[in-house]
């Protein structure tokens, strides 16, 4: 057999000069002597066999082995009858090509070439034998090639080794290589392991295909080893071992560890576990007992299946089985910790308590000692819990870890910075208490870490995550304390001057800036601007992590824009232009997005006046035309609509707002109810004589669109209330006009009351209707006032919507006797002979009348609708 190019290249790579040891020197001398023999004797061939086996165990021995085999073939072709290359010789040659990574010099390309060469030799042997040659490959020949592929670490290794296995079985079934040629357990196990562990798959789909292929081979082994209800004596040796089942189960678990989680994958893993149990029970395979690794792999597959609560329940069921005293396998730390982690990721409202219960079971198990990782998993559960006492539970658990470790009860429970950071995060994520409680508790833990670090415990050095999370605790609560958040930020900056490993990033600054933005005052806007300047200075000094992001600029723009003046809006425009300049200069992450544009539009909206509305519309047009990459959304248009509605430009605002609404339709923007309500509001505030009719027609148009299936344009109480408000503030000079406007107000109220899907009339609706009655019904027409007011107020009481606004308007609109009648004992006069109606305190009327009043709903909901949602702060590492 001629040596190919690979062997020639490897021959040249054999190191010259001084040999490393006597054994290799002997092999080189013996090889040289054999190669220099003119005629090989039987003794020479016996010696050659030993030398070949020795080279098979040496690195870079394949080239020498190739030369020796070539010498035998050449002698045979020259007529030397003693020169016979045996199967053992060829097996040694194949073995010499098996890749070895021990010296660290093997590359992937070389390993692949070695495996290819080993298989080429095998195929040559089989081809020669089937053509009548004397060299018959045995099962060792095939196993050695499988080993070569196993050691190659090549992506194609599972497929190529699988082909060898299939080839073996075909030769066996045909009887080509004799009756003693049978597939070996070694080949099956190595191919299964290749598909399970060494598949080089980089995505979930490929990993799943490999796992399924491994299971197919495992099932084929079962088919051969088991027949009917008994073991097949012919292939008894092919019974899959526990380790092979574990390999395939682990392969399925690996699939769910990647991006594509699936309950079906977890079910496949568990099915293999049940197959082991079934074979042990029904085929009396006493050695086929699932190990704790078997159960843990199934637990792992379920915990990462993406099924959340159902997965956590399934994992706990498996853990319960492991804890069963009748079971021969006991759970270990991984079993408990993975179950805890499954509950932590489940999203179940009671997940943290369930995780804590698992930890208690772990503590009560004398064979298992919870470690820091176990406790941290429960801390993580509490940090995500919506329960009111979750932060305190997390901190209590941290204290328990400290107590157990310090007293020697559990030396493996020492808290680390992840423990502290997670407890701090539990306080930071809590939203049901004020900033003082959350911030102080988080800051106390930070103080503790800083003190431990000063005492020489380096592992408790607060990280950037620690400081940023305490900042978040102060700035993200219901009542954010931006000043305290800024103080923590300054502590981090001061600490970073003494620590090279503490490099502040933009997250903490962004949190404080956002808190100042929420305050909405000129002073808070100035603080936000100062922090932006500070970030810029630190970035220019060399801290890349603190470079202001687009989110930073957008939040500062929001803060300044909330000042509500035209000068503030112009300053926001300057910030916007600065962002554009930086983007054009090469800072690609500062490319203005829709939220950034909307912050500019919101600033001009808040500025008020005709000039602010015109500027907002100009920027909207630029957004449509000049910045085509960033398309305006419904919020962009809504800002402009609100700007016109609140502009005070009575003569043009309504028409301009309606024109913007038509542009939204023409451009295919998904219009919502807020858009229409803003136009209705603009008409309500206009000076046009038929503004009430126009407002009602728009509401009825909304109603028609909603009934045809457009659920985004559902009218609400605000829609109809605004129509009534338009009636109340229309310039009605004649009785006919006032009567017509009163009819529109009545129609609007009745349409709202007859359409429950649009929500009930609220206290603003009823109060506005009473205002309309006061303005549109002559004072001397007491009968009409009574007819209009009494049933409306009675319905208002039934709906529980009697608020202060309703009482004020009732006092103005109702005749004296009706006022006293409706309020009964709650109405009084300052003097019995006086006809002056006294105000009624809202606290004096029955609670039933005011049970549904939400005084702040209008200001919060209607003011804030249409403001673009803020970008969330980026996620951070907890360590």
Residue keyed to tokens 């425009």: 573
Q: Are 503 and 541 in contact (CB under 8 A)?
A: no
Residue 4: is its pLDDT beyond 90? no
Q: Are 818 and 811 in contact (CB under 8 A)?
A: no
- Judged on CB neighbours under 10 Å (0-12, 13-18, 19+), 494 is exposed
pLDDT value for 856:
64
pLDDT value for 104:
66
Q: Give the CA-trace dihedral at 156, 157, 158, 162, to 10 degrees.
A: 110
Q: 153's torsion region: left (phi>0), alpha (psi -120 to 50) or beta? A: left
Q: Tell me if residue 729 falls in helix, strand or coil.
A: coil
Q: 592's torsion region: left (phi>0), alpha (psi -120 to 50) or beta? A: beta
Tokens encoding 314: 């399934």
Threshold 0.85, pTM exceeds: no
pLDDT value for 836:
53
Q: Are 728 and 689 in contact (CB under 8 A)?
A: no
Q: Give the CA-trace dihedral at 356, 361, 366, 371, to 10 degrees.
A: -20
Q: Are 56 and 106 in contact (CB under 8 A)?
A: no
The CA distance from 426 to 430, in Å, is: 6
Within-domain flag for 2: no
Give me the mean pLDDT over the 654-675 stretch. Answer: 94
pLDDT in tens, 597-607: 999 999 999 99
Give me the mean pLDDT over the 277-295 stretch. Answer: 89
The CA distance from 633 to 329, in Å, is: 60
Within-domain flag for 132: no
pLDDT-derived band at 876 (thresholds 50, 70, 90) equals low
pLDDT in tens, 541-584: 999 999 999 999 999 999 999 999 999 999 999 999 999 999 99
Q: 67's torsion region: left (phi>0), alpha (psi -120 to 50) or beta? A: alpha
Choose among 294, 374, 371: nearest CA to 327: 294
Within-domain flag for 497: yes
Give me the mean pLDDT over the 621-626 stretch. Answer: 88
Containing domain of residue 473, as a range? 422-548
Exposure class string for 759-781: b at 16+ Cβ within 10 A, else e? bebbbbbbbbbbbbbbbbbeeee
Alpha helices in 460-593 (DSSP H): 464-475, 482-496, 506-519, 522-540, 550-561, 566-584
The CA distance from 454 to 465, in Å, is: 19
* β-bridge pairing 230-231 and 226-227: antiparallel
Tell me the chain's radius of gyration from C-alpha atoms. 41
The CA distance from 800 to 825, in Å, is: 18
| Paired residues of 226 in beta bridges | 231
Q: 102's torsion region: left (phi>0), alpha (psi -120 to 50) or beta? A: alpha
Q: What are phi and psi of 662, to 5 degrees?
A: -65, -35
pLDDT value for 615:
96
Q: What is the mean pLDDT of the chain?
A: 89
Q: How many CB atoms lie within 10 A of CB 296?
A: 26
Q: Determine the number of helices (DSSP H) and then strands (DSSP E) in the chain.
A: 40, 2
Query: Secondary structure of 282-331 in the HEC alphabet?
Result: HCCCCCCCCCHHHHHHHHHHHHCCCCCHHHHHHHHHHHHHHHCCCCCCCC
The CA distance from 853 to 218, in Å, is: 69
Measured CA to CA in angstroms, residue 180 lies from 133, 140, 234 at distances of 18, 12, 12
pLDDT in tens, 197-225: 888 877 888 888 999 999 999 999 999 99
Within-domain flag for 325: no
pLDDT in tens, 488-511: 999 999 999 999 999 999 999 999
- Pick the range with the lowest mean pLDDT from 74-78, 351-355, 720-724, 802-806: 74-78
- Strand (E) or helix (H) holding 126: helix 108-130
| Paired residues of 227 in beta bridges | 230
Measured CA to CA in angstroms, residue 829 lies from 506, 816, 824, 840 at distances of 63, 10, 12, 10
The CA distance from 485 to 503, in Å, is: 18
Q: Number of structural domains, the chain?
A: 1
Within-domain flag for 507: yes
Contacts of 328 (CB under 8 A, 6+ apart): 289
Q: Are 527 and 482 in contact (CB under 8 A)?
A: yes
pLDDT in tens, 412-461: 999 999 999 999 999 998 876 566 788 999 999 999 999 999 999 999 99
The CA distance from 773 to 791, in Å, is: 13
Within-domain flag for 343: no
Contacts of 456 (CB under 8 A, 6+ apart): none
pLDDT in tens, 226-238: 988 889 999 999 9
For the chain, give the number of residues.
Answer: 879
- Pick the range with the lowest mean pLDDT from 704-713, 736-745, 832-841: 832-841
Within-domain flag for 697: no
Within-domain flag for 310: no
pLDDT in tens, 265-275: 999 999 999 99
């Amino acid at each position: 057999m001629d040596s190919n190019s690979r062997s020639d290249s490897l021959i040249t790579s054999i190191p010259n000069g001084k040999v490393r040891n006597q054994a290799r020197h002997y092999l080189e001398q013996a090889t040289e002597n054999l190669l220099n023999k003119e005629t090989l004797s039987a003794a020479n061939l016996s010696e050659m066999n030993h030398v070949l086996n020795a080279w098979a165990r040496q690195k870079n021995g394949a080239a020498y082995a190739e030369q020796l085999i070539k010498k035998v073939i050449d002698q045979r072709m020259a007529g030397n009858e003693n020169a016979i290359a045996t199967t053992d010789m060829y097996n040694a040659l194949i073995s010499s090509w098996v890749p070895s990574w021990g010296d660290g010099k093997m590359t992937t390309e070389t390993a692949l070439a070695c495996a290819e060469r080993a298989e080429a030799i095998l195929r040559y042997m089989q081809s020669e034998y089937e053509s009548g040659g004397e060299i018959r490959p045995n099962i060792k020949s095939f196993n050695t090639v499988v080993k070569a592929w196993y050691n190659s670490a090549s992506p194609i290794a599972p497929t190529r080794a699988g082909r060898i296995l299939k080839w073996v079985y075909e030769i066996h079934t045909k009887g080509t290589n004799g009756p003693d040629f049978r597939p070996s357990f070694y080949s099956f196990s190595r191919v299964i392991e290749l598909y399970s562990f060494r598949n080089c798959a980089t995505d979930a789909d490929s990993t799943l295909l490999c796992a399924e292929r491994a299971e197919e081979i495992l099932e084929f082994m079962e088919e051969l080893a088991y027949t009917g209800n008994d073991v097949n004596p012919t292939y008894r040796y092919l019974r899959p071992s526990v380790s092979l089942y574990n390999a395939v189960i682990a392969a399925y678990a690996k699939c769910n560890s990647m991006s594509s989680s699936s309950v079906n994958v977890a079910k496949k893993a568990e099915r293999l576990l049940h197959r082991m149990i079934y074979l042990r029970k029904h085929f009396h395979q006493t050695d086929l007992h699932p190990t704790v690794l078997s159960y843990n792999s199934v637990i792992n597959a379920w915990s990462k299946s993406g099924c959340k609560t159902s997965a956590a329940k399934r994992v706990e069921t498996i853990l319960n089985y492991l804890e069963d005293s009748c079971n021969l396998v006991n759970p270990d730390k991984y079993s408990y910790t993975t179950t805890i982690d499954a509950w932590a990721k489940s999203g179940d409202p009671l997940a943290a308590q369930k995780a804590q219960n698992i930890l208690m079971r772990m503590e009560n198990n004398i064979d298992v000692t919870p470690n820091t990782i176990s406790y941290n998993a429960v801390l993580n559960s509490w940090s995500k819990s919506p329960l009111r006492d979750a932060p305190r539970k997390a901190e209590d658990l941290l204290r328990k870890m400290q107590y157990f470790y310090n007293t020697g009860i559990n030396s493996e429970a020492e808290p680390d910075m992840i423990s502290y950071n997670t407890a701090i995060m539990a306080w930071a994520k809590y939203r049901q208490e004020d900033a003082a409680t959350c911030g102080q508790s988080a800051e106390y833990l930070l103080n503790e870490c800083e003190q431990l670090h000063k005492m020489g415990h380096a592992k408790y050095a607060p990280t950037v995550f620690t400081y940023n999370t305490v900042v978040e605790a102060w700035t993200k609560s219901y009542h954010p304390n931006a000043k305290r958040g800024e103080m923590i930020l300054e502590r981090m900056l001061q600490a970073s001057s003494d620590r090279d490993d503490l490099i502040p990033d933009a997250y903490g600054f962004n949190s404080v800036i956002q808190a100042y933005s929420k305050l909405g005052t000129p002073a808070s806007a100035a603080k936000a601007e100062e922090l932006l300047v500070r970030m810029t200075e630190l970035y220019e000094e060399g801290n890349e992590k603190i470079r202001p992001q687009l989110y930073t600029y957008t939040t500062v723009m929001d803060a300044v824009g909330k000042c509500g003046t035209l000068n503030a809006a112009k300053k926001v425009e300057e910030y916007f232009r600065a962002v554009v300049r930086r983007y054009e200069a090469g800072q690609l992450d500062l490319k203005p997005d829709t939220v950034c544009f909307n912050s500019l539009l919101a600033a001009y909206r808040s500025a008020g006046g005709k000039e602010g509305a015109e500027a907002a519309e100009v920027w909207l047009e630029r957004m449509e035309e000049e910045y085509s990459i960033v398309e305006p959304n419904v919020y962009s248009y809504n800002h402009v609509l609100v700007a016109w509605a609140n502009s005070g430009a009575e003569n043009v605002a309504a028409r301009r707002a309606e024109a913007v609404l038509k542009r939204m339709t023409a451009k295919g923007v998904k219009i919502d109810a807020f858009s229409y309500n803003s136009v209705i509001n603009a008409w309500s505030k206009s000076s046009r004589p038929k503004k009430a009719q126009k407002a009602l027609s728009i509401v009825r148009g909304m109603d028609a669109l909603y009934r045809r299936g457009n659920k985004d344009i559902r009218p609400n109480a605000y829609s109809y209330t605004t129509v009534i408000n338009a009636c109340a503030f229309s310039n009605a000079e004649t009785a006919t006009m006032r009567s017509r406007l009163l009819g529109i107000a009545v129609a609007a109220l009745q349409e709202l009351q007859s359409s429950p899907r649009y929500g009930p009339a609220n206290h603003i609706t009823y109060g506005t209707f009473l205002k309309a009655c006061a303005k549109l019904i002559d004072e001397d027409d007491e009968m009409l006032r009574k007819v209009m007011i009494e049933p409306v107020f009675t319905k208002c009481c039934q709906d529980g919507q009697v608020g202060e606004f309703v009482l004020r308007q009732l006092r103005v609109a109702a005749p004296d006797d009706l006022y006293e009648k409706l309020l009964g004992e709650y109405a009084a006069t300052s003097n019995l002979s006086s006809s002056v109606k006294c105000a009624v305190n809202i606290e004096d009327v029955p609670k039933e009348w005011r049970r549904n009043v939400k005084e702040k709903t209008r200001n919060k909901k209607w003011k804030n609708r249409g403001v673009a949602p803020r970008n969330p702060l980026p996620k951070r590492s907890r360590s």
